[in-house]
Amino acid sequence: MNTYIKSVPVNLFNGIFNTVINFNNGLNIVSGINGTGKTQLLQLLKGNSGNTSDANKKSSELAIFAISPKRNTEKQAIDSIFQQVRTQNKTVQSFLTNISNFQIKDTGFETYPSFAELFIQEYESIMQDGVTGHAQAIATTITNFNEVLEQVFPDYKIEARWIIGQSETAGKLDIKIRKYSADPINIDLLSTGEREVFALLFCIFVSRDKEDVYLIDEPEIHLNWDLEKGLFQFFQWFCEKFKKQIIVVTHSRIIFKKEFYPKTQFLIWEAGKIVCRTEVTEKQKASIAGEISETINVIQFSKTTYFVEDLTQKLVVDTLATSLGKDIEVIICENKSNVKSLYNLLKNSQQANLYFLVDGDNEGCNIADTRFISLKKYCIENYIFDIALLGKSLNKTDEEVKSVIVESFKEINENRHSLVYKKLAEVAPIFPLEVIDTFNGKDLLKIFSGKVNKDSNLIITDFISTAHTEGSIQTVFTELMIGLS
């Protein structure tokens, strides 16, 4: 296992910030308002004040890359960058050697290479074996760099080629970026935010074999929400893939996404002291809720919009809308609690085209509002188990479908919720199909799809297509038709 910084004693601002902060291996996030010592904390870590996970190893023995990504990446054409790399003898090795001198700065920043410089340096380092040519080295670099780029920009691709001149060495490199399915563009046409993220991503990536720990100070500056989210997803991916530790301080609201919140520590003022907590305070929660309420109430939703719990609900609603020729928006809220919270924030708005969808979960519903749709069945997957329509969509008889359902129940993991259903499937001469509506259809569909050898999402979309062909959508999905009719 890699060695990482396990803790650091902190005594800053004449004892106002005096504690020990612990870190985990992998991604660590520190959040806090201005003046809570976030940057100074990184400076302590860079200054080798930390304790490591290996009792026999000091933090000064770790390779620590300190990054203050506040640079304003210049717009330069690839030809200009290529000539600079060649004439100034810039190499990956010279960059890696210089990393140890990088510091976390209160003002200014350390200049690190642009994406294009790093691409050139990376592929040229591959050719140092004296055997690999330009084309193969570029192809290898493209593959490696696109894997990185995909973490933040899944719809972007790097395209590069070596244009041969009068001789092989007299040629030049051509790099372009293809966004979505549009024609590729020159790298100097990327936005400032894109160029900054590209540079940060690949500076981290090319140092993967040398550095142990990455300290990053407020990487979200100049970035929009999607870039912030993608960047933090990259940090997570990088830590997991290369077994590294990243400690990043940030003001970004990305910390409140469920995959990042457990990795976040909060520096807050408490009784005249700065303390570190793993949960936001009630005051912070109220402030965040107020911000959300103010923000969301000024947004005008031009289309019918469904707020749903998860991807499966989105798939069902989207597919139904497409079948009915309706143009709508579907927004995933991650869970029932979040859907309810959004409903409470928006229920008094004048926007009648907003709908809030939650699974029934055998709980009933005490909200008397047609815009709030609590399913009568356990969850959205249960609606797929209409025997006749499911049989037609799978090209199976009713009896064959019933048999697969019963066999699926037999394989359900046994617990206090599933025991009765499992026993019925095992001993009842005729399984009472009406009980399916009260069982967790997610678990049932997962096993059922394996038995019919068909992806569960495809089962859902084919079922809805069959229901549409048979004129049964209104009957099967009555509850969802409020906003789709």
pLDDT digits (tens, 9 = 90+) for 263-280: 999 999 989 999 999 988
* pLDDT confidence tier of residue 34, bands split at 50, 70 and 90: confident
pLDDT digits (tens, 9 = 90+) for 174-216: 889 998 878 889 888 888 788 888 888 998 998 999 999 999 9
Tell me: pLDDT of 389 over 50: yes
Q: Tell me, what's the pLDDT at 425? A: 86
Full DSSP string of 309-364: SSHHHHHHHHHHHHHHT--EEEEE-SSHHHHHHHHHHHTTSS-TTEEEEE--TT--
pLDDT given for residue 372 in this prediction: 94
- Please check the confidence at residue 89 and state whether its pLDDT lies above 50: yes
The beta strand positions in 138-259, using DSSP E, are 156-163, 172-179, 185-186, 213-217, 245-250
User: Is a pLDDT exceeding 60 seen at residue 456?
Assistant: yes
Query: At residue 84, does pLDDT exceed 60?
Result: no
* 306 pLDDT higher than 70: yes
pLDDT at 1 over 80: no
Q: How much is the average pLDDT of 390-411?
A: 94
**pLDDT band at residue 135 under the 50/70/90 scheme:** confident
361-373 pLDDT tens trace: 999 888 889 899 9
Residue-level pLDDT at 418: 84
Distances 374 to 171, 362, 386, 387 between C-alpha atoms, Å: 65, 10, 19, 23
What was the pLDDT predicted at 236?
Answer: 96
What pLDDT shows up at residue 78?
45
Residue 156 pLDDT class (50, 70, 90 cuts): very high
Give the pLDDT of residue 214: 94
Q: Would you say 232 and 69 are in contact if contact means Cβ atoms under 8 Å apart?
A: no
Q: How does DSSP classify residue 257?
A: S
User: Residue 20 has what pLDDT?
Assistant: 95
> What are phi and psi for residue 474, nearest 5 degrees?
-60, -40
Residue 239 has pLDDT above 90, yes or no: yes
The answer to whether 476 and 319 are in contact (CB under 8 A) is no
Mean pLDDT of the chain: 86
pLDDT for position 51:
93
Percent of all residues in the chain with a pLDDT value above 70, rounded to a whole number: 88
pLDDT tier, 77 (very low <50, low <70, confident <90, very high otherwise)? very low
Query: Is residue 317 predicted with pLDDT exceeding 70?
Result: yes
Distance separating alpha carbons of residues 409 and 414, to the nearest angstrom? 10
Phi, psi (rounded to 5 degrees) for 191? -70, 165
223 vs 400: which has the higher pLDDT: 400
The SS3 of residue 103 is coil
Task: Indicate whether this model's pTM tops 0.95.
Answer: no
Mean pLDDT of 324-338: 90
Which pLDDT score is estimated for 87? 52
pLDDT tier, 86 (very low <50, low <70, confident <90, very high otherwise): low
Both structure tokens of 133: 């040519």
- pLDDT (0 to 100) of residue 173: 78
pLDDT band at 405 (very low <50, low <70, confident <90, very high): very high
Per-residue pLDDT of 280-305, as tens digits, reads: 877 777 666 666 666 666 667 788 99
Q: Which of 31-40, 65-74, 266-275, 434-443 has the lowest mean pLDDT?
A: 65-74
pLDDT of 32 reads: 87
C-alpha closest to that of 144 among 219, 213, 241, 236: 241
Q: How confident is the model at residue 25 (pLDDT cuts 50, 70, 90)?
A: very high
What pLDDT score was predicted for residue 72?
44
* pLDDT given at position 88: 52
pLDDT at 333 > cutoff 90: no
pLDDT of 73 higher than 90: no
* Mean pLDDT of the region 242-268: 91
Q: In what order do the strands lie in the sheet with 64-67?
A: 64-67, 213-217, 245-250, 27-32, 264-270, 273-277
